[in-house]
Amino acid sequence: MRFIFKTVRRLAVAGLLTASLMIGGILATHFWMRLKFHAMLQKGVPEGPHMDVPQHRAMSDITGSLREVPFKGPAGTIPGLGRAALMNSFLLMLNANRATSGIMYPYPEEFENVVIESFDGTPLTCAVGIHKDGKARPAIVMSHGFMGSKNDHYIIDTALRAYAEWGFNVLGIDLRNFGRSQSLSHGPTTAGWKESEDLLAAAKYLSERSEVTSVGITGFSMGAGSTMMAACKTREFPYLTGGAIAWNGYADAGRMVEYISTRPPVTHQFFPVYLGFRVMHKIRREDMKGYIDDPEQLTYLDAGFNKADFTTYIEQIAAPHYGVSTEEFFANASPRNFLADVEVPLLIVHAEDDPICPASEMDELREITKNNPNVDIWMLPAGNHCLFRYLDKAWYDKVMRDFFTYWATW
């Protein structure tokens, strides 16, 4: 009995120490970001492109140049995973609940909190950084992934750098049902279908401002799927004018949802992520009981930890909300059905060691886009899931800055 008591006590102490270190790391990261941001502003914001941009631009030219940028690759994996864990600890769990979502890493006073409407009327919260020097500049819309928000470290850190060091106007968005947007309406997430219109609505908002010359979009994971889908809709919504980068996306939304809903073996590299997703989804389901009153949907929400998965969520909650079948829902959210005809520059970056969106998702997209000069799919040996910024920040910043500078209107 004494042994059990000591073991429990040691585990409790270890847990408290670990939590304290992670919270301390987040706070330190927050202050360090702010210091860097103001230091960059003190140096002066660029008034024009940092590189020569040719009059006639081609996707093959800029992607060919970027492929020559040195990348650490697998050598940066272990320290990169540690940095990512420290700087993003607890954020996804906090994002799963309306009351706590987006409370970490607030944007500085140079950014304005605004609410825009997507094309179906869904309200969306955004942090918008517009330079006040009277010079019109290009802009970038930045999109988080599943269970994320615009306040996630990998979003806000890049947003602040793009604003202060690269000279762009910036908009960080909370997609529908995520971040602070989930407190404004109850429209379910759609695996990238309606979220693509959220991104284009943000691009429209920026393009209507006199301080903005062109608008690019970048997104991660589900945000990558949303970015790809946004690039496919520019004929109907012509607001994406400055290129797009999709980080660690997918080809088939239905296949992706089934993958993250299926319990893998304990030894599989996806298993810890699977458990994390289930915990976040459980938190989200409990929160949804505060505004869902349909008896059938409440039965789903009351299901146990192992009985309610993401596939069931689509079938029971999301598809009925938007008045479509499950099959139509997934068809509308799958980039593979639309990418062949993309007319804007789209760079898709993926990692061979991605445990969440398998590298095989890119095989189908390569075949579909092989005759489209506007699309380039770049597979790298390492990067895990959306962790390129943590494996090799210099490489990541160079790719982001040069790509969007190349396609921007200055």
Residues 6 or more apart in contact with residue 385 via CB below 8 angstroms:
221, 248, 273, 351, 354, 355, 356, 357
DSSP letter assigned to residue 178: S
CA separation for the pair 216, 236 (Å, rounded): 17
Specify which residues 349 forms β-bridges with.
Answer: 247, 378
Helix pair 2-43, 77-88: axis angle to 10 deg: 90
Structure confidence at residue 10 (pLDDT)? 61
Give yes or no for a contact between 173 and 180, defined as CB atoms under 8 angstroms apart.
Answer: no
329/320 Cα distance (integer angstroms)? 10
Q: Which CATH number fits domain 20-407: 3.30.479.30, 3.90.1570.10, 3.40.50.720, 3.40.50.1820?
A: 3.40.50.1820
Q: Are strands 244-247 and 212-220 parallel, antiparallel or unpaired?
A: parallel
Residues in the chain: 410
DSSP secondary structure string for all residues of 12-26: HHHHHHHHHHHHHHH
Note the pLDDT of residue 14.
Answer: 56
Neighbours of 3 (CB within 10 A): 7
CA distance 292 to 315: 16
Sign of CA dihedral 324, 327, 331, 333: positive
Residue of 113, 176, 103, 106 whose CA lies nearest to 146: 176
pLDDT at 291: 85
Task: For residues 170 and 232, give the distance between their C-alpha atoms in angstroms, rounded to a whole number.
Answer: 22
3-state class (DSSP) for residue 281: helix
Q: Residue 115 pairs with which residues in a beta bridge?
A: 125
pLDDT < 70 positions in the chain? 1-22
User: How far, in Å, CA of 307 to CA of 184, rounded?
Assistant: 28
- The bridge status of strand 375-380 relative to strand 111-117 is unpaired
Take residue 85 and report the two structure tokens written for it.
């864990």
Q: How far is CA 183 from CA 155, 161, 195, 215, 313, in A?
A: 20, 28, 16, 27, 19
Strand spans (E) along 147-277: 169-173, 212-220, 244-247
Can you give the pLDDT at residue 28?
85
Tokens of residue 363, six digits? 């095989």
What is the structure's pLDDT at 12?
59
How high is the pLDDT of residue 26? 79
Candidates 400, 313, 288; CA nearest to 51 is: 400
Please count the CA atoms within 13 angstroms of the CA of 301 that sit on its side-chain side.
18
Nearest to 176 by CA among 158, 155, 190, 163: 190
**pTM confidence score:** 0.93
- Per-residue b or e along 349-369, where b marks 16 or more CB atoms closer than 10 Å to that residue's CB: bbbeebbbbbeebbebbeebb
| pLDDT (tens digit per residue) in 268-324 | 989 998 998 888 888 988 898 888 888 888 888 888 777 778 898 999 899 999 999
What is the per-residue DSSP string for 286-336? HHHTTT---HHHHHHHTS-TTT--HHHHIIIIIHHHHT--HHHHHHHH-GG
* Token pair for 292: 């869902």
**Token pair recorded at residue 170:** 């910036």
Tell me the C-alpha to C-alpha distance, in Å, between residue 175 and each of 142, 148, 222, 397, 405.
Answer: 10, 9, 10, 24, 25
CA atoms of 188 and 253, how far apart (whole Å): 15
Number of helical H runs and strand E runs in the chain: 16, 8
- Res 102: pLDDT: 87
